[in-house]
Structure formats: structure tokens, C-alpha cells
Amino acid sequence: MRIAYQGEPGAFSEAAAERVLPEAEAIPCRSFDEVFAAAEGGAAEYGVLPIENSIGGTIHRNYDLLLEHQLPIVGEVEVPVVHQLLALPEAAMAGIRRVYSHPQALAQCEKYLRTLSGVEIIATYDTAGSAKLIADGRLTDAAAVASARAGEVFGLKPLASSIQDFDDNITRFLVVGRTPLHDRVPDKTTIVFSLPNEAESLWKALAAFALRGLDLTKLESRPIPGRPWEYLFYVDVGAAYDDVKCGRALSQLAEFAHSVRVLGSYASWRSRELHRLPDPFEVRA
């Protein structure tokens, strides 16, 4: 079994992959597009993608990719994110002139980074990739914002630990693949729809769920390419697709929406915790 993730070994996406399928081989990919390509082309059975962070917000690119591809969402996983400021063993804090990391990680550590006087903040494609950059280039005047595991993988030391702005820093990842995760019972459905640009359209769409007592755990709008000021609405519904109330709500929505597509029905991470399924990190400890 193989599961693709974006980044280098030590990335938080690798940790997400391990939480989903501890026994699987984790396949690193340079971009989110490559994760989809691996899961679609057979290089991996599943792909894992960050979709939102409790501090930095939504990873918009992955919402767009969900629409571009036909791979359904089959699961989700949450990963606590603790950032370190990593540098070569011989480096000193006083000599750091550049800090590298993924834009989301930089946003999550904004308060700490503002305290670094005379330091250039540089966005890269990956947290662990930034650690690799420093290790490969032997950059004694640079540091990376990345995980403790990335430091272990690339032989870097922490100059500062837990530098994220808030302690409760969590990233939610989606799992995509052609095969359901058979040990999980769906209780969540993600859909995307478009609406006529007229008064009360969104109200009517949300009412289809509210009148049936269905919880909408997330609502996200994204622009429709080529159609300025028109939007797609991504919604997480707190019910399985085959739930009668969810099915009726979707039928009502389809009566007036321009388009409705189900992106996946899957077990929420919260339901996994409630049913006390084993956490691979806890088992390993």
C-alpha cells in the first residue's frame, strides 16, 4: 500500500500520511498536482492533501484540484503542528540572515518571525524542503521553519521551539483515492455547487440543510475561472451521503442550483476519536 504526500520526508504531510495508514509506504511529491497524478496513475493508492489550518486558514489550491480531478475524498486526518526554527549544528542565532519555509508555516509563525531583526523571510514550496535546502547547501546564515522530525532527517538543530503563534495549531488533511478506507464508517460529505446570481440563492441553498437539522461544518467560496464575480461553494455536511436527510437536501438543492457535485463521503476525524480507533503515534510510543 502506498500513499502520496506533498513535500520532503519530515513534512507535516508525511505525518498525516502515517496517521492515515501507518503500514503504508509514504511517497513524497514535489507538488499537490503530483499527489493527484500519483493517486490517479497508480503510483500510489491514496493521496493526502492539506485543506485547512486552524491559524493560516484554507489551502485554496487543493479545493481547485478537487474540482479538476475525479478522485473522491475517502477520509480526513488532523495533525497537530509544532514548528521549530532549525539550523545547522554550527549555526548561531545571531548569525541568521534568512528564514525559509512554506507560506502557510510562515503565516502560522508570524508573531515570532516579526521579532527577528534584519532577517529576510523567504517562502518556499515545503517546510521539510526548506530544511533540506539548508542542509544540502550548508547554509550557516539561514534557518528553516519546519518540524522536529525534519530536523532529525536533515541533521539540523532547533534554535527555537514551538514558535507558532498559537498552541492549538492543527492542520486538517483530506485523503483521496479510488478505494474507500474500509475500516471507516462515513459520517461526513463534501459537496461543491454553483448558484444563480440572484437574491436569496445562497439562503435557499443553506436552508435545504438547515430545515433538516443537518450541520454544515464548513462553507468555502471559490471564484469560477473565466466568470468574474461568480463563485463555487464548497460545503462539508455532517452526515453521510446515503443518509436520508442528506439525500433529500441534495435533491432540493439540485432543483435550483446550476450544478451540484459530491466530492466524497467519508468518516470524519472526530468520529474516529469518538470511537477510539488506535492512533499510530500513540501505539508507537
Residue 136 lies in a domain: yes
Same domain flag for 23 and 125: no
Q: What's the CA gap between 4 and 117, in Å, rounded?
A: 38
Residue 14 lies in a domain: yes
Same domain flag for 208 and 91: no
Residue 150 lies in a domain: yes
Taking only the tens place, the pLDDT of each residue in 162-219 is 999 998 899 999 999 999 987 779 999 999 999 998 999 999 999 999 999 999 999 9
Model pTM?
0.88
Range of the domain at 245: 188-266
Alpha helical stretches, state H, 155-232: 201-210
Is residue 278 pLDDT above 90, yes or no?
no
**CATH at 52:** 3.40.190.10
The answer to whether the beta carbons of residues 248 and 214 sit under 8 Å apart is no
Residue 273: the pLDDT is 54
Residue 189 annotated in active site: no
Taking only the tens place, the pLDDT of each residue in 121-168 is 999 999 999 999 999 999 999 999 999 999 999 999 999 999 999 988
DSSP state, 196?
Answer: -
Tell me which of 12, 36, 154, 173 is the catalytic residue. 173
Tell me which of 124, 127, 171, 190 is the catalytic residue. 171
Distances from the Cα of 158 to the Cαs of 64, 71, 83, 100, in angstroms?
A: 35, 38, 10, 14
**Burial group, residue 225, by CB count within 10 angstroms (0-12, 13-18, 19+):** exposed
Residue 272 lies in a domain: no
Is residue 120 pLDDT above 50, yes or no?
yes
Higher pLDDT, 274 or 204: 204
Residue 275 lies in a domain: no
Same domain flag for 177 and 216: no
Is residue 239 pLDDT above 50, yes or no?
yes
Same domain flag for 74 and 96: no
Residue 193 annotated in active site: no
Q: Considering the chain, what is the average pLDDT of its residues? A: 92
Same domain flag for 137 and 195: no
Query: How many structural domains does the chain have?
Result: 3
Is residue 281 pLDDT above 70, yes or no?
no
Is residue 276 pLDDT above 60, yes or no?
no
